[in-house]
Amino acid sequence: MSEFDYDLFVIGGGSGGVRAARVAAGEAGAKVALAEDDRYGGTCVIRGCVPKKLMVFASEYAGVVEDAQSYGWDLQQGPFDWPAFRGRLNDELDRLEQVYRNLLKSSGVDTFDARASLSGPHEVTLSTGEIKSAKHILVATGGHPVRPEMPNAHLGIVSDDIFHLESLPKSLLIIGGGYIACEFAGIMNGLGVEVTQYYRGAQILRGFDDEARGLVAEQMREKGINLHLGTNIVDIAPAEADHSMSRAGTGSDAAMGAAAQDQMAAQVSKDAARGPVWVKATNGSEKVFDLVLFATGRNPNSRDIGLEELGVKLGRRGQIEVDDYSQTAVPSIYAIGDVTDRVNLTPVAIREGMAFVETVFHANPTPVDHSLIPSAIFTQPEMGTVGLSEEEARDKEPVEIFCTSFRPMQTAFAGRPDRVLMKLIVSKANRKVLGCHIVAPGAGEMIQLAGIAIKMGATKEDFDRTVAVHPTMSEEIVTMRTPVRTA
Protein backbone atom coordinates (compact mmCIF):
# COMPACT_ATOMS: atom_id res chain seq x y z
CA MET A 1 0.00 0.00 0.00
CA SER A 2 1.42 3.35 -1.09
CA GLU A 3 2.08 6.04 1.48
CA PHE A 4 0.48 8.50 -0.98
CA ASP A 5 -3.12 9.02 -2.13
CA TYR A 6 -1.92 9.00 -5.75
CA ASP A 7 1.10 8.02 -7.82
CA LEU A 8 0.58 11.18 -9.86
CA PHE A 9 -1.32 14.41 -9.34
CA VAL A 10 -1.60 16.58 -12.46
CA ILE A 11 -2.42 20.27 -12.09
CA GLY A 12 -4.04 21.53 -15.28
CA GLY A 13 -6.43 19.88 -17.73
CA GLY A 14 -5.04 21.18 -21.01
CA SER A 15 -3.57 19.14 -23.84
CA GLY A 16 -0.33 18.26 -22.02
CA GLY A 17 -1.82 17.54 -18.61
CA VAL A 18 -4.69 15.43 -19.90
CA ARG A 19 -2.41 13.36 -22.13
CA ALA A 20 0.08 12.70 -19.32
CA ALA A 21 -2.69 11.81 -16.87
CA ARG A 22 -4.50 9.38 -19.09
CA VAL A 23 -1.35 7.66 -20.39
CA ALA A 24 0.02 7.31 -16.85
CA ALA A 25 -3.29 5.87 -15.67
CA GLY A 26 -4.25 3.88 -18.74
CA GLU A 27 -1.00 2.48 -20.10
CA ALA A 28 1.23 2.61 -17.04
CA GLY A 29 -1.51 1.59 -14.56
CA ALA A 30 -0.70 4.45 -12.18
CA LYS A 31 -3.21 5.90 -9.71
CA VAL A 32 -3.75 9.38 -11.09
CA ALA A 33 -5.72 12.53 -10.22
CA LEU A 34 -6.07 15.77 -12.15
CA ALA A 35 -7.34 19.18 -11.06
CA GLU A 36 -8.64 21.86 -13.41
CA ASP A 37 -10.25 25.09 -12.27
CA ASP A 38 -11.57 26.14 -15.67
CA ARG A 39 -12.76 24.17 -18.67
CA TYR A 40 -11.12 20.88 -19.65
CA GLY A 41 -9.11 21.10 -22.85
CA GLY A 42 -7.11 24.18 -21.87
CA THR A 43 -5.94 26.96 -24.14
CA CYS A 44 -5.77 24.86 -27.30
CA VAL A 45 -9.29 23.50 -27.18
CA ILE A 46 -11.20 26.24 -25.38
CA ARG A 47 -9.54 29.57 -26.27
CA GLY A 48 -6.79 28.86 -28.75
CA CYS A 49 -5.98 26.59 -31.68
CA VAL A 50 -9.39 24.95 -32.11
CA PRO A 51 -11.78 27.94 -31.98
CA LYS A 52 -9.17 30.03 -33.82
CA LYS A 53 -8.96 27.52 -36.68
CA LEU A 54 -12.75 27.34 -36.90
CA MET A 55 -12.76 31.13 -37.14
CA VAL A 56 -10.14 30.94 -39.91
CA PHE A 57 -12.44 28.59 -41.81
CA ALA A 58 -15.40 30.92 -41.23
CA SER A 59 -13.43 33.92 -42.45
CA GLU A 60 -12.29 32.22 -45.65
CA TYR A 61 -15.81 31.67 -47.00
CA ALA A 62 -16.15 35.27 -48.19
CA GLY A 63 -13.31 34.73 -50.64
CA VAL A 64 -14.70 31.37 -51.69
CA VAL A 65 -17.94 32.95 -52.91
CA GLU A 66 -16.02 35.51 -54.99
CA ASP A 67 -13.81 32.82 -56.48
CA ALA A 68 -16.79 30.57 -57.20
CA GLN A 69 -18.32 33.38 -59.28
CA SER A 70 -15.15 33.45 -61.40
CA TYR A 71 -15.53 29.70 -61.87
CA GLY A 72 -19.04 30.14 -63.23
CA TRP A 73 -21.16 29.70 -60.14
CA ASP A 74 -24.07 32.05 -59.57
CA LEU A 75 -23.46 32.57 -55.85
CA GLN A 76 -24.21 35.76 -53.96
CA GLN A 77 -22.42 36.90 -50.83
CA GLY A 78 -24.73 37.23 -47.84
CA PRO A 79 -23.90 38.86 -44.50
CA PHE A 80 -21.90 36.98 -41.89
CA ASP A 81 -24.00 35.99 -38.88
CA TRP A 82 -21.58 36.16 -35.95
CA PRO A 83 -24.07 35.09 -33.22
CA ALA A 84 -25.09 32.06 -35.31
CA PHE A 85 -21.45 31.06 -35.83
CA ARG A 86 -20.55 31.74 -32.20
CA GLY A 87 -23.44 29.53 -31.05
CA ARG A 88 -22.20 26.63 -33.17
CA LEU A 89 -18.64 27.28 -32.03
CA ASN A 90 -19.70 27.11 -28.39
CA ASP A 91 -21.60 23.88 -29.01
CA GLU A 92 -18.49 22.38 -30.58
CA LEU A 93 -16.31 23.47 -27.67
CA ASP A 94 -18.82 21.97 -25.21
CA ARG A 95 -18.63 18.72 -27.16
CA LEU A 96 -14.83 18.71 -27.14
CA GLU A 97 -14.67 19.51 -23.46
CA GLN A 98 -16.90 16.51 -22.80
CA VAL A 99 -14.59 14.36 -24.93
CA TYR A 100 -11.67 15.41 -22.72
CA ARG A 101 -13.62 14.65 -19.55
CA ASN A 102 -14.64 11.25 -20.91
CA LEU A 103 -11.07 10.40 -21.89
CA LEU A 104 -9.94 11.02 -18.33
CA LYS A 105 -12.84 9.08 -16.87
CA SER A 106 -12.38 6.07 -19.12
CA SER A 107 -8.67 6.00 -18.26
CA GLY A 108 -9.55 5.87 -14.55
CA VAL A 109 -8.25 9.34 -13.66
CA ASP A 110 -9.92 11.02 -10.66
CA THR A 111 -10.81 14.60 -11.61
CA PHE A 112 -11.31 17.61 -9.36
CA ASP A 113 -13.02 20.71 -10.73
CA ALA A 114 -11.01 22.95 -8.45
CA ARG A 115 -7.96 25.15 -8.29
CA ALA A 116 -4.93 23.30 -6.95
CA SER A 117 -1.80 24.65 -5.37
CA LEU A 118 1.25 22.92 -4.03
CA SER A 119 1.51 22.73 -0.25
CA GLY A 120 4.46 20.32 -0.09
CA PRO A 121 6.79 18.41 -2.39
CA HIS A 122 4.22 15.61 -2.39
CA GLU A 123 1.09 17.53 -1.43
CA VAL A 124 -1.60 19.45 -3.25
CA THR A 125 -4.28 21.63 -1.63
CA LEU A 126 -7.49 22.15 -3.55
CA SER A 127 -9.74 25.21 -3.45
CA THR A 128 -12.40 22.90 -1.98
CA GLY A 129 -10.18 22.54 1.09
CA GLU A 130 -9.24 18.93 0.30
CA ILE A 131 -5.59 17.93 0.62
CA LYS A 132 -4.16 15.14 -1.56
CA SER A 133 -0.75 13.52 -1.50
CA ALA A 134 1.07 12.15 -4.53
CA LYS A 135 4.42 10.54 -5.23
CA HIS A 136 4.83 12.79 -8.27
CA ILE A 137 3.21 16.12 -9.11
CA LEU A 138 3.02 17.36 -12.68
CA VAL A 139 2.39 21.08 -13.23
CA ALA A 140 0.74 21.70 -16.60
CA THR A 141 -0.99 25.00 -15.95
CA GLY A 142 -0.28 26.67 -19.30
CA GLY A 143 -0.12 30.40 -19.85
CA HIS A 144 -2.27 33.48 -20.30
CA PRO A 145 -2.26 36.50 -22.59
CA VAL A 146 -0.75 39.70 -21.22
CA ARG A 147 -1.42 43.36 -21.95
CA PRO A 148 1.42 45.87 -22.10
CA GLU A 149 1.98 47.72 -18.86
CA MET A 150 0.44 51.08 -19.71
CA PRO A 151 -2.36 53.19 -18.29
CA ASN A 152 -5.84 52.11 -19.43
CA ALA A 153 -4.58 48.88 -20.99
CA HIS A 154 -7.73 47.23 -19.61
CA LEU A 155 -9.69 49.05 -22.33
CA GLY A 156 -8.31 46.57 -24.84
CA ILE A 157 -9.28 42.91 -24.99
CA VAL A 158 -6.97 39.88 -25.24
CA SER A 159 -7.30 36.79 -27.42
CA ASP A 160 -9.31 34.88 -24.76
CA ASP A 161 -12.08 37.47 -25.14
CA ILE A 162 -12.47 37.27 -28.91
CA PHE A 163 -14.60 34.15 -28.81
CA HIS A 164 -17.14 35.75 -26.48
CA LEU A 165 -17.77 39.03 -28.29
CA GLU A 166 -21.47 39.95 -28.36
CA SER A 167 -21.04 41.39 -31.83
CA LEU A 168 -18.20 41.98 -34.25
CA PRO A 169 -16.71 45.47 -34.16
CA LYS A 170 -16.79 47.62 -37.27
CA SER A 171 -13.17 48.61 -36.72
CA LEU A 172 -10.45 46.76 -34.83
CA LEU A 173 -6.93 47.74 -33.87
CA ILE A 174 -4.57 44.85 -33.19
CA ILE A 175 -1.36 45.52 -31.27
CA GLY A 176 1.49 43.06 -31.87
CA GLY A 177 3.14 41.22 -34.71
CA GLY A 178 3.31 37.64 -33.46
CA TYR A 179 1.24 34.55 -34.20
CA ILE A 180 -1.93 35.69 -32.49
CA ALA A 181 -1.88 39.24 -33.85
CA CYS A 182 -1.36 38.14 -37.45
CA GLU A 183 -3.81 35.26 -37.32
CA PHE A 184 -6.60 37.42 -35.91
CA ALA A 185 -5.85 40.21 -38.37
CA GLY A 186 -6.63 37.76 -41.18
CA ILE A 187 -9.66 36.27 -39.45
CA MET A 188 -11.31 39.58 -38.63
CA ASN A 189 -10.51 41.04 -42.03
CA GLY A 190 -12.14 38.01 -43.65
CA LEU A 191 -15.23 38.44 -41.46
CA GLY A 192 -15.65 41.99 -42.74
CA VAL A 193 -14.08 43.98 -39.90
CA GLU A 194 -11.86 46.96 -40.80
CA VAL A 195 -8.54 45.82 -39.37
CA THR A 196 -5.59 48.03 -38.44
CA GLN A 197 -2.47 46.43 -37.00
CA TYR A 198 0.39 48.19 -35.21
CA TYR A 199 3.64 46.31 -34.81
CA ARG A 200 6.60 47.96 -33.12
CA GLY A 201 9.28 46.07 -35.07
CA ALA A 202 10.49 46.32 -38.65
CA GLN A 203 8.60 43.25 -39.86
CA ILE A 204 5.86 41.00 -38.42
CA LEU A 205 6.52 37.44 -37.24
CA ARG A 206 9.95 38.11 -35.80
CA GLY A 207 12.22 35.06 -35.86
CA PHE A 208 10.72 33.50 -38.98
CA ASP A 209 12.38 33.53 -42.40
CA ASP A 210 12.58 37.12 -43.67
CA GLU A 211 11.41 36.38 -47.19
CA ALA A 212 8.47 34.29 -45.97
CA ARG A 213 7.25 36.82 -43.42
CA GLY A 214 7.74 39.58 -45.95
CA LEU A 215 5.34 37.84 -48.32
CA VAL A 216 2.81 37.24 -45.53
CA ALA A 217 2.90 40.95 -44.68
CA GLU A 218 2.52 41.93 -48.34
CA GLN A 219 -0.43 39.58 -48.81
CA MET A 220 -2.09 40.76 -45.59
CA ARG A 221 -1.95 44.31 -46.93
CA GLU A 222 -3.18 43.11 -50.32
CA LYS A 223 -6.23 41.64 -48.60
CA GLY A 224 -7.03 44.95 -46.97
CA ILE A 225 -5.34 44.85 -43.55
CA ASN A 226 -4.00 48.24 -42.61
CA LEU A 227 -0.61 47.09 -41.31
CA HIS A 228 1.71 49.68 -39.77
CA LEU A 229 5.25 48.56 -39.01
CA GLY A 230 7.53 50.40 -36.62
CA THR A 231 4.42 51.64 -34.88
CA ASN A 232 3.17 51.11 -31.35
CA ILE A 233 0.42 52.37 -29.14
CA VAL A 234 1.42 55.14 -26.72
CA ASP A 235 -1.92 56.11 -25.25
CA ILE A 236 -5.42 54.66 -24.99
CA ALA A 237 -8.58 56.13 -23.48
CA PRO A 238 -12.36 55.82 -23.79
CA ALA A 239 -13.29 57.63 -27.02
CA GLU A 240 -15.94 59.78 -25.46
CA ALA A 241 -13.84 60.85 -22.46
CA ASP A 242 -11.51 63.81 -22.06
CA HIS A 243 -8.27 62.19 -23.11
CA SER A 244 -5.99 64.32 -21.03
CA MET A 245 -8.01 63.33 -17.94
CA SER A 246 -7.81 59.71 -18.91
CA ARG A 247 -4.09 59.88 -19.37
CA ALA A 248 -3.58 61.42 -16.02
CA GLY A 249 -6.34 59.19 -14.71
CA THR A 250 -6.80 57.33 -11.51
CA GLY A 251 -6.14 53.68 -12.32
CA SER A 252 -2.64 53.23 -13.73
CA ASP A 253 -2.17 49.65 -14.91
CA ALA A 254 1.57 50.28 -15.04
CA ALA A 255 1.62 51.07 -11.36
CA MET A 256 -0.59 48.07 -10.69
CA GLY A 257 2.01 45.55 -11.87
CA ALA A 258 1.68 42.35 -13.83
CA ALA A 259 0.31 40.10 -11.08
CA ALA A 260 -2.55 42.44 -10.19
CA GLN A 261 -3.30 42.88 -13.87
CA ASP A 262 -3.63 39.13 -14.22
CA GLN A 263 -6.12 38.98 -11.37
CA MET A 264 -8.15 41.66 -13.05
CA ALA A 265 -8.24 39.76 -16.31
CA ALA A 266 -11.58 38.02 -15.86
CA GLN A 267 -13.31 41.18 -14.72
CA VAL A 268 -11.70 43.19 -17.49
CA SER A 269 -12.79 40.68 -20.13
CA LYS A 270 -16.39 41.54 -19.45
CA ASP A 271 -15.84 45.27 -19.43
CA ALA A 272 -13.36 45.64 -22.24
CA ALA A 273 -15.61 45.47 -25.25
CA ARG A 274 -17.86 48.25 -24.02
CA GLY A 275 -17.28 51.13 -26.30
CA PRO A 276 -15.03 52.79 -28.81
CA VAL A 277 -11.53 53.68 -27.72
CA TRP A 278 -9.23 56.48 -28.70
CA VAL A 279 -5.67 55.47 -29.46
CA LYS A 280 -2.56 57.53 -30.00
CA ALA A 281 0.32 55.88 -31.86
CA THR A 282 4.07 56.44 -31.90
CA ASN A 283 3.70 57.96 -35.37
CA GLY A 284 1.56 60.69 -33.83
CA SER A 285 -1.74 59.54 -35.32
CA GLU A 286 -4.86 59.65 -33.13
CA LYS A 287 -7.71 57.36 -34.09
CA VAL A 288 -10.89 55.88 -32.65
CA PHE A 289 -11.51 52.15 -32.95
CA ASP A 290 -14.53 50.11 -31.91
CA LEU A 291 -12.21 47.57 -30.33
CA VAL A 292 -8.54 47.14 -29.48
CA LEU A 293 -6.95 43.69 -29.21
CA PHE A 294 -3.67 43.35 -27.38
CA ALA A 295 -1.84 40.37 -28.90
CA THR A 296 1.33 41.23 -27.06
CA GLY A 297 2.44 37.82 -25.84
CA ARG A 298 1.64 35.25 -23.18
CA ASN A 299 3.10 34.53 -19.74
CA PRO A 300 3.27 31.22 -17.86
CA ASN A 301 0.65 30.44 -15.18
CA SER A 302 3.16 29.82 -12.43
CA ARG A 303 2.39 32.41 -9.79
CA ASP A 304 0.42 31.86 -6.59
CA ILE A 305 0.41 28.07 -6.75
CA GLY A 306 3.11 27.53 -4.14
CA LEU A 307 5.97 26.73 -6.50
CA GLU A 308 8.60 29.19 -5.32
CA GLU A 309 7.84 28.48 -1.65
CA LEU A 310 8.84 24.85 -2.26
CA GLY A 311 12.05 25.74 -4.05
CA VAL A 312 10.88 25.28 -7.64
CA LYS A 313 12.93 27.72 -9.74
CA LEU A 314 11.14 30.21 -11.99
CA GLY A 315 12.75 32.13 -14.84
CA ARG A 316 12.50 35.83 -15.55
CA ARG A 317 9.10 35.57 -17.23
CA GLY A 318 7.77 33.19 -14.59
CA GLN A 319 8.48 30.04 -16.59
CA ILE A 320 9.19 26.92 -14.53
CA GLU A 321 12.77 25.86 -15.06
CA VAL A 322 13.06 22.18 -15.88
CA ASP A 323 15.75 19.80 -17.10
CA ASP A 324 15.62 17.70 -20.28
CA TYR A 325 13.21 15.33 -18.52
CA SER A 326 10.81 18.10 -17.43
CA GLN A 327 11.93 17.72 -13.81
CA THR A 328 12.06 20.87 -11.65
CA ALA A 329 14.55 21.70 -8.89
CA VAL A 330 12.25 19.72 -6.53
CA PRO A 331 12.67 16.08 -7.60
CA SER A 332 9.03 15.04 -7.08
CA ILE A 333 7.69 17.99 -9.11
CA TYR A 334 7.71 18.02 -12.92
CA ALA A 335 6.33 20.58 -15.37
CA ILE A 336 5.35 20.46 -19.04
CA GLY A 337 3.81 22.70 -21.67
CA ASP A 338 3.51 26.48 -21.86
CA VAL A 339 4.22 26.93 -18.14
CA THR A 340 7.81 25.91 -18.94
CA ASP A 341 7.99 28.28 -21.95
CA ARG A 342 10.13 25.97 -24.09
CA VAL A 343 8.29 25.66 -27.42
CA ASN A 344 4.73 26.80 -26.78
CA LEU A 345 2.79 24.53 -29.09
CA THR A 346 0.12 21.94 -28.27
CA PRO A 347 1.84 18.95 -29.89
CA VAL A 348 5.03 19.82 -28.01
CA ALA A 349 3.19 19.87 -24.67
CA ILE A 350 1.73 16.47 -25.56
CA ARG A 351 5.19 15.13 -26.41
CA GLU A 352 6.55 16.46 -23.13
CA GLY A 353 3.69 14.75 -21.28
CA MET A 354 4.37 11.43 -22.99
CA ALA A 355 8.12 11.68 -22.34
CA PHE A 356 7.40 12.45 -18.68
CA VAL A 357 5.30 9.28 -18.34
CA GLU A 358 7.96 7.21 -20.11
CA THR A 359 10.66 8.62 -17.81
CA VAL A 360 8.80 8.34 -14.53
CA PHE A 361 6.42 5.41 -14.94
CA HIS A 362 8.35 3.16 -17.33
CA ALA A 363 11.81 3.83 -15.84
CA ASN A 364 13.01 4.84 -19.29
CA PRO A 365 14.55 8.34 -19.11
CA THR A 366 13.30 10.08 -22.25
CA PRO A 367 14.29 13.66 -23.07
CA VAL A 368 12.02 15.66 -25.36
CA ASP A 369 13.47 16.38 -28.77
CA HIS A 370 12.75 20.04 -29.46
CA SER A 371 14.62 20.15 -32.77
CA LEU A 372 13.07 20.50 -36.23
CA ILE A 373 9.51 21.05 -35.03
CA PRO A 374 7.27 21.84 -37.99
CA SER A 375 4.65 24.50 -37.32
CA ALA A 376 2.09 26.61 -39.08
CA ILE A 377 0.87 30.14 -38.63
CA PHE A 378 -2.72 30.42 -39.76
CA THR A 379 -2.38 33.77 -41.41
CA GLN A 380 -4.04 34.25 -44.77
CA PRO A 381 -2.10 32.91 -46.62
CA GLU A 382 -0.77 30.40 -44.14
CA MET A 383 2.89 29.98 -43.37
CA GLY A 384 4.31 26.52 -42.76
CA THR A 385 7.85 26.27 -41.51
CA VAL A 386 10.39 23.74 -40.29
CA GLY A 387 14.05 24.12 -39.46
CA LEU A 388 16.28 27.13 -39.87
CA SER A 389 15.42 30.44 -41.51
CA GLU A 390 17.85 31.70 -44.15
CA GLU A 391 19.15 34.24 -41.64
CA GLU A 392 19.78 31.62 -38.93
CA ALA A 393 21.32 29.12 -41.34
CA ARG A 394 23.80 31.49 -42.98
CA ASP A 395 25.10 32.45 -39.54
CA LYS A 396 25.95 28.82 -38.93
CA GLU A 397 27.39 27.58 -42.23
CA PRO A 398 27.55 28.24 -45.99
CA VAL A 399 24.16 27.59 -47.58
CA GLU A 400 22.38 27.52 -50.92
CA ILE A 401 18.93 29.08 -51.13
CA PHE A 402 16.27 27.65 -53.43
CA CYS A 403 13.19 29.81 -53.64
CA THR A 404 10.28 30.46 -55.92
CA SER A 405 7.28 32.74 -55.63
CA PHE A 406 4.37 32.58 -58.04
CA ARG A 407 0.63 33.07 -58.53
CA PRO A 408 -1.08 29.73 -57.89
CA MET A 409 -3.42 28.37 -60.52
CA GLN A 410 -6.64 28.38 -58.51
CA THR A 411 -6.67 32.01 -57.44
CA ALA A 412 -4.89 33.32 -60.55
CA PHE A 413 -7.78 31.92 -62.62
CA ALA A 414 -10.18 33.77 -60.34
CA GLY A 415 -8.27 36.99 -61.02
CA ARG A 416 -6.71 37.35 -57.60
CA PRO A 417 -3.21 38.76 -57.16
CA ASP A 418 -2.34 36.15 -54.46
CA ARG A 419 1.22 34.88 -54.45
CA VAL A 420 2.73 31.85 -52.76
CA LEU A 421 6.30 31.03 -51.80
CA MET A 422 8.29 27.77 -51.57
CA LYS A 423 11.77 27.94 -50.11
CA LEU A 424 14.50 25.48 -49.15
CA ILE A 425 17.69 26.24 -47.25
CA VAL A 426 20.39 23.71 -48.11
CA SER A 427 23.74 23.06 -46.44
CA LYS A 428 26.60 23.44 -48.91
CA ALA A 429 28.72 21.03 -46.90
CA ASN A 430 26.46 17.99 -46.63
CA ARG A 431 23.51 18.96 -48.90
CA LYS A 432 20.99 18.47 -46.08
CA VAL A 433 17.84 20.56 -46.22
CA LEU A 434 18.18 22.72 -43.12
CA GLY A 435 14.92 24.62 -43.47
CA CYS A 436 11.73 24.67 -45.48
CA HIS A 437 9.35 27.64 -45.59
CA ILE A 438 6.06 27.66 -47.40
CA VAL A 439 3.62 30.55 -47.70
CA ALA A 440 0.49 29.27 -49.40
CA PRO A 441 -3.06 28.15 -48.75
CA GLY A 442 -2.70 24.78 -47.02
CA ALA A 443 0.94 25.42 -46.04
CA GLY A 444 0.24 23.85 -42.64
CA GLU A 445 -0.75 20.59 -44.31
CA MET A 446 2.26 20.69 -46.64
CA ILE A 447 4.84 21.39 -43.97
CA GLN A 448 3.73 18.43 -41.87
CA LEU A 449 4.87 16.13 -44.70
CA ALA A 450 8.00 18.07 -45.64
CA GLY A 451 8.82 17.94 -41.92
CA ILE A 452 9.11 14.14 -42.03
CA ALA A 453 11.70 14.22 -44.81
CA ILE A 454 13.69 16.97 -43.14
CA LYS A 455 13.57 15.24 -39.76
CA MET A 456 14.92 12.13 -41.49
CA GLY A 457 17.86 14.19 -42.75
CA ALA A 458 16.83 14.44 -46.41
CA THR A 459 19.29 16.12 -48.77
CA LYS A 460 18.42 18.44 -51.65
CA GLU A 461 19.13 15.51 -53.96
CA ASP A 462 16.52 13.40 -52.09
CA PHE A 463 14.00 16.14 -52.80
CA ASP A 464 15.17 16.32 -56.45
CA ARG A 465 14.72 12.63 -57.14
CA THR A 466 11.16 12.69 -55.82
CA VAL A 467 8.74 12.94 -58.74
CA ALA A 468 6.50 16.00 -58.73
CA VAL A 469 2.76 15.74 -58.13
CA HIS A 470 1.25 17.75 -60.95
CA PRO A 471 -0.46 20.19 -61.03
CA THR A 472 0.00 21.30 -57.44
CA MET A 473 1.64 24.23 -55.70
CA SER A 474 3.88 21.98 -53.63
CA GLU A 475 5.47 20.31 -56.67
CA GLU A 476 7.77 23.33 -56.76
CA ILE A 477 9.43 21.96 -53.64
CA VAL A 478 10.93 19.13 -55.74
CA THR A 479 11.50 21.01 -58.99
CA MET A 480 13.70 23.94 -57.94
CA ARG A 481 16.97 23.21 -59.78
CA THR A 482 19.17 26.29 -59.40
CA PRO A 483 19.90 28.18 -56.21
CA VAL A 484 18.70 31.78 -56.23
CA ARG A 485 21.71 32.70 -54.12
CA THR A 486 24.38 31.34 -51.85
CA ALA A 487 25.08 32.78 -48.45
Catalytic residues: 470
Amino acid (one-letter) located at 262: D
Query: Is residue 12 a contact partner of residue 141, using CB atoms and an 8 Å limit?
Result: yes
Residue 345 beta carbon to ligand NDP: minimum distance, rounded to whole angstroms: 5
Residue 193 beta carbon to ligand NDP: minimum distance, rounded to whole angstroms: 18
CA atoms of 38 and 414, how far apart (whole Å) = 45
| Candidate list 141, 219, 301, 375; residue touching ligand NDP; CB under 6 A | 375
Answer yes or no whether residue 206 interacts with ligand NDP by CB under 6 A. Answer: yes
Q: Is there a cis peptide before residue 331, judged by omega within 30 degrees of 0?
A: no
Give the pairing type, strands 6-11 and 131-139.
parallel
CA end-to-end span of the chain = 64
Helix or strand run (H / E) with residue 17:
helix 15-26
C-alpha distances (whole Å) from 110 to each of 25, 31, 132, 233 are 10, 9, 12, 46
Nearer to ligand NDP by Cβ, of 348 and 421: the residue is 348
Instruction: With CA atoms as reference, report the closest residue to 410 among 25, 150, 63, 43.
Output: 63
Residue 175 beta carbon to ligand NDP: minimum distance, rounded to whole angstroms: 5
Mention every residue, 6+ apart, whose C-beta is less than 8 A from residue 110: 6, 32, 33, 34
Answer yes or no whether residue 455 interacts with ligand NDP by CB under 6 A. Answer: no
| Candidate list 9, 184, 356, 378; residue touching ligand NDP; CB under 6 A | 378
Answer yes or no whether residue 173 interacts with ligand NDP by CB under 6 A. Answer: no
Answer yes or no whether residue 179 interacts with ligand NDP by CB under 6 A. Answer: yes
Instruction: With CA atoms as reference, report the closest residue to 59 among 219, 189, 226.
Output: 189
Return the biggest CA–CA distance within the chain.
73
- Residues that bind ligand NDP (rule: CB under 6 A) add up to a total of 24
| Candidate list 125, 152, 189, 296; residue touching ligand NDP; CB under 6 A | 296
Nearer to ligand NDP by Cβ, of 173 and 360: the residue is 173
Residue 348 beta carbon to ligand NDP: minimum distance, rounded to whole angstroms: 9
Answer yes or no whether residue 447 interacts with ligand NDP by CB under 6 A. Answer: no
Residue 292 beta carbon to ligand NDP: minimum distance, rounded to whole angstroms: 12
Answer yes or no whether residue 345 interacts with ligand NDP by CB under 6 A. Answer: yes
- Closest residue to ligand NDP, judged by C-beta, is 178
Nearer to ligand NDP by Cβ, of 15 and 332: the residue is 15
For residue 355, is it left (φ>0), alpha (ψ between -120 and 50) or beta?
Answer: alpha
Answer yes or no whether residue 344 interacts with ligand NDP by CB under 6 A. Answer: yes
Residue 249 beta carbon to ligand NDP: minimum distance, rounded to whole angstroms: 19
Nearer to ligand NDP by Cβ, of 48 and 238: the residue is 48
Measured at the alpha carbon of residue 186, what is the angle toward residues 181 and 191, in degrees to the nearest 5? 125
| Candidate list 13, 41, 142, 148; residue touching ligand NDP; CB under 6 A | 148
| Candidate list 56, 175, 193, 273; residue touching ligand NDP; CB under 6 A | 175
Answer yes or no whether residue 51 interacts with ligand NDP by CB under 6 A. Answer: no
Answer yes or no whether residue 232 interacts with ligand NDP by CB under 6 A. Answer: yes
Nearer to ligand NDP by Cβ, of 25 and 181: the residue is 181
Measured at the alpha carbon of residue 355, what is the angle toward residues 351 and 358, in degrees to the nearest 5? 140
Q: Is the dihedral of CA 128, 305, 264, 228 positive or negative?
A: negative
- Site of interaction with ligand NDP (CB under 6 A): 148, 175-181, 183, 199-201, 206, 232, 295-298, 344-345, 375-378
